[in-house]
Amino acid sequence: MTQEHADKSGFETRAIHAGYEPDPSTGAVIPPIFATSTYKQDGVGGLRGGYEYSRSANPTRTALEGALAAVEDGERGFAFASGLAAEDTLVRALCRPGDHVVFPDDAYGGTHRLFAQVEQAWGLGLTTAAVSDVDAVRAAIRPGETKLVWLETPTNPLLTIADIEAMAAVAHDAASLLVVDNTFATPYLQQPLTLGADIVVHSTTKYVGGHSDVVGGALVVRDHDLAERIGFHQNAMGAVAGPFDCFLTHRGLKTLGVRMDRHCDNAERVVEFLTGHSAVIDVTYPGLPDHPGHEIAARQMRRYGGMVSFRVAGGEEQALAVCDRTRVFTLAESLGGIESLIEHPGRMTHASVAGTELEVPADLIRLSVGIETVDDLLADLDRALSGG
Ligand SMILES: Cc1ncc(COP(=O)(O)O)c(C=O)c1O
């Protein structure tokens, strides 16, 4: 699909067609897996299509990167070996030791560990702030030092909402760049670059891949200079996604729109069920009118996603028991796949932030609501909550 055509197309058309034209030599409709590390040159420096070595570029990755850029309304996409690899590459591309970053106070635990234990040791200053609070973020910025304001929205696992447009204004006033981790929302539900963000980050392991069969990460930008710096570091640091992983991620991306609608349909039914259950004391979902970020979410998201968190009346012991008792919801880390997952953030995904300001409640359960038959999901939760 040509760039001009991609620009005018709807989301699903871009997800399916952008980044790739049927292969000129065979007509292959789907990008082949180019399992090659190097490329024949037609005389020294005579590269075919610019391909020289697969760390620098590989056609299977090029196709995915083009599609990622198109669905995020960006100019360039970059695919990495994992979400954390994407984040680390971004920090090294845009910061130097001595620079400072403002960071969410309830970010994904692994991202916090990367910043607190790896990037800080490298010399990066870090201040955590509640990203739902524009004034708190403004106060955390150190003029002249803060290079990045980092958001997740919704956050993992407390589903806090940040106002992307307002945060972009705050970051840009201080000559900082706004980074948005769009893993939970996905480009189908929210497009941060169109709201003023400078860089979008993804763990494509989650909804973009969508089938729990591949680990990957991505960065998407609009600005040419940013793209050049990230592209240089992607090659210089080498944490690229391999062709097999790119193939799977790209295949997942093509159905993102239909999957997200079903994830949202099922999550809404699960929220309704949990809200009325006597064993549940608190349900967190941005689609609920009493969620503190509901109005902002309604403005910047198409729908509210497939992630639901809730607390149980019986404390940590009951939370662990519920996680153990479900049969359709699989007890596992990660999220965003077609199958429903349940987890205990305090002991699992967020164990690395225990004892920090990012510690999560011990009675909290996080659901990644999949796309199974919703009545089976409700019956499973009912059985688990009733002790059956
Ligand atoms: C919001 C968010 N960002 C980043 C990551 C890190 O991605 P990966 O596990 O692909 O390295 C995760 C992983 O769970 C995540 O949930």
Structure tokens at 168: 């972009």
Nearest residue CA, atom 12 of ligand 1?
203
Above pLDDT 70, what percent of the chain? 98
Band the pLDDT of 3: cuts 50, 70, 90: low
From first CA to last CA, the distance across the chain in angstroms is 53
Read off the pLDDT of residues 105-140 as tens digits, 9 standing for 90 and up. Answer: 988 889 999 999 999 999 999 999 999 999 999 999
Q: Is the pLDDT of residue 6 over 70?
A: no
Nearest residue CA, atom 13 of ligand 1?
203
User: What's the confidence (pLDDT) of residue 358?
Assistant: 77
Do 332 and 205 form a contact (C-beta atoms < 8 A)?
no
207 tagged catalytic: no
Between the CA of 185 and the centroid of ligand 1 the distance, in Å, is 13
Q: Is the pLDDT of residue 267 over 90?
A: yes
Band the pLDDT of 28: cuts 50, 70, 90: very high
* Alpha helices for the chain (secondary structure H): 3-8, 11-17, 59-71, 83-94, 109-113, 120-122, 134-140, 164-173, 186-189, 224-237, 243-254, 256-275, 294-300, 315-325, 374-385
Q: What is the mean pLDDT of the chain?
A: 96
Residues in the ligand 1 pocket, defined by CB under 6 Å: 82-84, 108, 110-111, 152, 156, 181, 183-184, 203, 205, 215, 217
Between the CA of 334 and the centroid of ligand 1 the distance, in Å, is 8
Lowest mean pLDDT among 32-41, 226-235, 312-321, 353-362: 353-362
Cα–Cα dist 330/341, whole Å: 5
**Chain mean position to CA 8:** 25
User: What's the confidence (pLDDT) of residue 190?
Assistant: 98
Band the pLDDT of 48: cuts 50, 70, 90: very high
Do 270 and 378 form a contact (C-beta atoms < 8 A)?
yes
Residue located via tokens 């639901």: 308
The yes/no answer on whether domain 258-385 falls in CATH 3.90.1150.10 is: yes
Q: Is the pLDDT of residue 314 over 80?
A: yes
Cα–Cα dist 313/319, whole Å: 9
Nearest residue CA, atom 3 of ligand 1?
203
Read off the pLDDT of residues 239-263 as tens digits, 9 standing for 90 and up. Answer: 999 999 999 999 999 999 999 999 9
Q: Is the pLDDT of residue 1 over 70?
A: no
User: What's the confidence (pLDDT) of residue 307?
Assistant: 98
Cα–Cα dist 87/384, whole Å: 37
- Over residues 265-271, the mean pLDDT reads 98
Cα–Cα dist 261/206, whole Å: 15
Nearest residue CA, atom 6 of ligand 1?
83
Read off the pLDDT of residues 140-176 as tens digits, 9 standing for 90 and up. Answer: 999 999 999 999 999 988 999 999 999 999 999 999 9
Between the CA of 49 and the centroid of ligand 1 the distance, in Å, is 33
Read off the pLDDT of residues 325-378 as tens digits, 9 standing for 90 and up. Answer: 999 999 999 999 999 999 999 999 888 778 887 788 999 999 999 999 999 999
CATH class, 3-254 region? alpha beta
Each domain of the chain, given as residue ranges in start order, spans 3-254, 258-385
User: What's the confidence (pLDDT) of residue 356?
Assistant: 80
